[in-house]
């Protein structure tokens, strides 16, 4: 009935990623009454609570960054890492039934989820920027390229680590529990609600080994020239992002056939 045209391999990948993307979209928001609304309510609630807590001390900014923007520039970049990582880690399991179709590969499910997560967070970020402008909070983006770079490398880091975890879990299901426990404290040590400068110098080395701190630091430094990061480095984040992406893709190449067959 329907004649199929011969497609270039890249077009097949595009078609498959798009098909999974649509499927994920429904799975992500279709089940909830407020749908995509939750993607906005969640950061707004966090920013509001943190701003109230820290305003109790009487101050209202960190190195010239107003509190609401300060927390947004911690929470959203952190989520670019964490959400991509957790979505990618669960990607293969969620799409296992689809690998029966020859053109659907695990990497398509991984890329579709990464794409969806990035689009959601970019939408939320843009919306929050507009809201801050509208209510008259002093938002600025002094170095857009650096902001793009820090978000890009946080996503890459999340993607790489996510692929590693995903393959580890498909090999050793028990590892899911360890990964869960290991990832939990990340929220508190990734500079979501503090900057490196606020940590006494002699304790900084307990914090600054974590590449994500460098991502949140650089996102803030990118937006406000007045914010001088105490030791944040985009190169350090980029190194670990590329390292884990390479490790993840190498593991993927070794394991994808077993994953499709299982």
Partner 1 sequence: MMTGREGTRFVARIHGAQNIKEIESFTQEFSELGYNYDLPVRTYSSGMRSRLAFAISMAFDFDTYLLDEITSVGDPRFQKKARAALNQKRETANVIMVSHAPGLLKEFCDCGIVLDDGKMTFYESIDRAITIYNAL
Per CB under 8 A, residues contacting partner 1 are 1-5, 7, 11-12, 15-16, 18-19, 22-23, 26-27, 30-31, 98, 101, 103-104
Residue with tokens 């991502």: 215
Long-range contacts of 42-47 (CB under 8 A, 24+ apart): 43/72, 43/75, 43/76, 43/79, 43/124, 43/128, 44/128, 46/71, 46/75, 47/71, 47/72, 47/75, 47/128
Nearest distance, CB of residue 249 and partner 1, angstroms: 23
Q: State which residue, 112 or 159, has the beta carbon closest to partner 1.
A: 112
d(CA 217, CA 151): 11
Q: Rounded to the nearest whole angstrom, what is the least distance from the CB of residue 5 to partner 1 in the complex?
A: 7
Closest approach of Cβ 101 to partner 1, in Å? 6
Cβ proximity to partner 1, 2 vs 57, nearer residue = 2
In angstroms, how far is the first alpha carbon of the chain from the final one? 33
The distance of Cα 32 from the centroid of its chain, to the nearest Å, equals 22
Which residue, 246, 230, 227, is CA-closest to 238?
Answer: 246
Question: Which is closer to partner 1, CB of 87 or CB of 229?
Answer: 87
Nearer to partner 1, 14 or 257 (CB): 14
Residue 12 or 251 having the CB closest to partner 1: 12
């Amino acid at each position: 009935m329907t004649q199929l045209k011969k497609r270039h391999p890249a077009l097949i990948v595009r078609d498959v990623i798009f098909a999974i993307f649509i499927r994920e979209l429904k799975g992500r928001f279709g089940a909830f009454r407020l749908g995509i609304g939750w993607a906005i309510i969640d950061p707004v609630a966090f920013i509001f609570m943190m701003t109230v807590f820290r305003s109790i001390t009487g101050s209202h900014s960190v190195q010239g960054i107003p509190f609401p923007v300060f927390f947004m520039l911690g929470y959203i970049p952190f989520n670019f890492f964490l959400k991509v990582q957790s979505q990618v880690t669960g990607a293969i399991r969620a799409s296992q039934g689809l690998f029966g179709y020859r053109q659907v590969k695990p990497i398509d499910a991984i890329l579709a989820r990464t794409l969806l997560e990035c689009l959601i967070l970019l939408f939320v970020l843009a919306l929050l920027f507009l809201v801050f402008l509208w209510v008259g909070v002093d938002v600025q983006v002094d170095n857009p390229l650096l902001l793009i770079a820090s978000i890009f490398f946080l996503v890459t880091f999340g993607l790489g680590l996510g692929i590693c975890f995903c393959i580890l879990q498909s090999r050793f299901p028990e590892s899911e529990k360890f990964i869960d426990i290991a990832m939990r404290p990340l929220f508190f040590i990734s500079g979501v609600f503090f900057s490196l400068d606020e940590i006494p110098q002699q304790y900084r080395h307990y914090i600054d080994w974590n590449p994500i701190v460098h991502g949140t630091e650089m996102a803030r430094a990118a937006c406000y020239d007045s914010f001088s990061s105490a030791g944040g480095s985009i190169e350090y984040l980029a190194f670990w992002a590329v390292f884990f992406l390479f490790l993840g893709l190498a593991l993927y190449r070794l394991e994808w056939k077993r994953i499709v067959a299982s």
